[in-house]
Structure formats: C-alpha cells, structure tokens
C-alpha cells in the first residue's frame, strides 16, 4: 500500500478497491428521468472514481457492472444496459489505454452477443501491458457462479485422474477463482444505502473491509471516495488474529 498525495493524506490506501454501484434507477426516478438515463449518469461517476482512485494510489478497482441476476430485469432495461456497455467500451477504451489502465473482465460471457465479446477481448488485448491501474469489470458475474466454476474445473481434473480428491483444499480452489492473480480487495464500497454484497466476489471479500453509504451511485463523487478512504484508514485489520499488545488481554498483577 502507498501513501496518497494531494489535499488528502492517508496512512494507508486500499491496494484493491471493489465497488457495488447501486442506485442508478432510484437516481433516475428522483430526477424524473428514465432508468437508462440513470445508468448513463452512473458511467460519468466511473470516470470520477477511477481518477480519484488513481490519484490516491489505489492500484486495482473492480466494479460490479452487471450481475448474473440482472438478466431478470425488464428486457428493455437489459437491452439499454448492453448498449451502454458497448458504447462505454467504444468511447473509453482508447483513453483508458492512454492513461495506462489495464482493463479486465470477469464473469460468464456466453450470453453476450458476439460483437460485445469481441469488444471485450479487444479492450483486454489493447491494454494488457499497462501497469498504472487495473480496472476489472464484473459482467454477468455472480459469486456463487465463480465458486461453482472453480469447483467444476477441479472436478474435471479429478475425473481425468490428474488430481486426487484429498488434494483439493482452500489454497488450490483459490487458484481457480476469478482474479486469482490479483490481491484480494482490501475495501468494498456499496452505494445507495443497501448493506449486503448481493452475490459479489463472495470468495474474494472474505476479509475485506466494507463501507456503506446512502449516496446514490450517480451522485458518488470525490468527497464520497475520500470519506470511504478515511474510514478505511480507521480500521484495524487483523484477519482473525489479535494484536499481541492488546492491553485488555494482559494479565492484571
């Protein structure tokens, strides 16, 4: 982890920041606009958050853009989301590449159109060598799917006789979970007042810190990011352990 620069100063910043972007629909309703307009406004927020994260030394940002369950939304909204996703890739990928951002996607791509899959592959290939920041976009993603997919791969190896069942443990399974090559998220932000993770990175968030805010995603700005980073700085991360200097546990003579 690295210290931040600029008007805000932090003892530590999360190396990997995960965000559940919630509240686009409610924002649109309050503004008297259509739900797709809320999603479009949310894209503007992504730009602000990426810039603020980079300026403060955050190395990886993972965004929950479209969940496995989101296919159940009204067909017109799903279509609008897919169109917006495609437009985002077309309009942003060159700038992201110039800014040194490596783009990656996690999730099941089978239900996307061939054209959208090609756009995703192009974005990953174009930015593969960038090292300044990593942007992970979770699309058609679910934490349960992720774990089941990893277990399936191990089961296939057991079936093929290349792996013994007793060799399967947490360490091995972790190697087949999405983002296995990246550090686990240090902080997860969820906007719009909900306090649940909604099937997002179930395995990866096991020891992450959480920051919940009432702010709707399109309204989430630089000040909100700094509030989250400040809150993170106040946490004592012990991963289930205990500080040896904990005064409350010392024997009283």
Mean pLDDT, residues 11-18: 95
Given this model, what pLDDT does residue 164 score? Answer: 97
Residue 135 lies in a domain: yes
Residue 165 lies in a domain: no
70 as an active site residue: the answer is yes
Given this model, what pLDDT does residue 125 score? Answer: 98
201 versus 251: which is more confidently predicted? 201
Say how many domains are in the chain.
1
Residue 68 lies in a domain: yes
Mean pLDDT, residues 207-223: 97
Reading phi first (left if > 0) and then psi (alpha if -120 to 50, else beta), residue 8 is in beta
Least confident of 24-38, 43-57, 73-87, 239-253: 239-253
Residue 167 lies in a domain: no
Mean pLDDT, residues 91-105: 95
Residue 42 lies in a domain: yes
Name every residue whose Cβ is closer than 8 Å to that of residue 212 and which is 6 or more positions away in sequence: 189, 190, 193, 194, 195
Q: What is the CATH number of the domain that holds 30?
A: 3.40.1180.10
Mean pLDDT, residues 190-197: 96
Q: Which of 22, 140, 146, 186 is catalytic?
A: 22
DSSP state of 247: G
Distance CA 233, CA 246 (A): 19
Residue 152 lies in a domain: no
> Nearest-CA neighbor of 154 among 143, 142, 166?
166
Contact present, 101 and 25 (Cβ < 8 Å): no
Q: Which of 70, 97, 130, 149 is catalytic?
A: 70
Residue 172 lies in a domain: no
Domain that holds residue 109: 16-142+184-233
Given this model, what pLDDT does residue 10 score? Answer: 82
Least confident of 92-106, 172-186, 224-238: 224-238
> Could you give the dihedral angle defined by the CA atoms of residues 32, 37, 41 and 42, in that order, rounded to the nearest 10 degrees?
110
Highest mean pLDDT among 8-17, 87-96, 168-177, 239-248: 168-177
Residue 247 lies in a domain: no
């Amino acid at each position: 982890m690295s210290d931040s620069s600029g008007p805000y100063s932090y003892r530590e910043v999360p190396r990997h920041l995960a965000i559940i972007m919630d509240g686009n629909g409610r924002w649109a309703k309050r503004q008297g606009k259509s739900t797709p307009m809320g999603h479009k406004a949310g894209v503007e927020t992504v730009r602000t958050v990426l810039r603020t994260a980079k300026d403060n030394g955050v190395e990886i940002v993972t965004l929950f853009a479209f969940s496995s369950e989101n296919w159940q939304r009204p067909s017109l909204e799903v279509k609008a989301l897919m169109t917006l996703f495609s437009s985002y890739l077309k309009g942003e990928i060159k700038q992201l590449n110039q800014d040194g951002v490596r783009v990656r996607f996690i999730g099941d791509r089978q239900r996307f159109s061939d054209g959208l899959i090609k756009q995703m592959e192009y974005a990953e290939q174009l930015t593969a060598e960038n090292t300044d920041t990593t942007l992970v976009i979770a699309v058609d993603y679910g934490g349960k799917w992720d774990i089941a997919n990893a277990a399936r791969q191990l089961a296939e190896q057991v079936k093929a006789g290349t792996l013994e069942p007793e060799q399967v443990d947490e360490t091995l399974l972790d190697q087949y979970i999405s983002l296995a090559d990246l550090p686990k998220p240090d902080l997860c932000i969820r906007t719009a007042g909900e306090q649940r993770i909604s099937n997002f990175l179930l395995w990866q968030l096991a020891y992450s810190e959480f920051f919940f805010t009432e702010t709707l995603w399109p309204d989430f700005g630089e000040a909100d990011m700094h509030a989250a980073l400040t809150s993170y700085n106040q946490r004592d991360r012990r991963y289930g352990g205990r500080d040896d200097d904990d005064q409350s546990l010392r024997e009283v003579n």
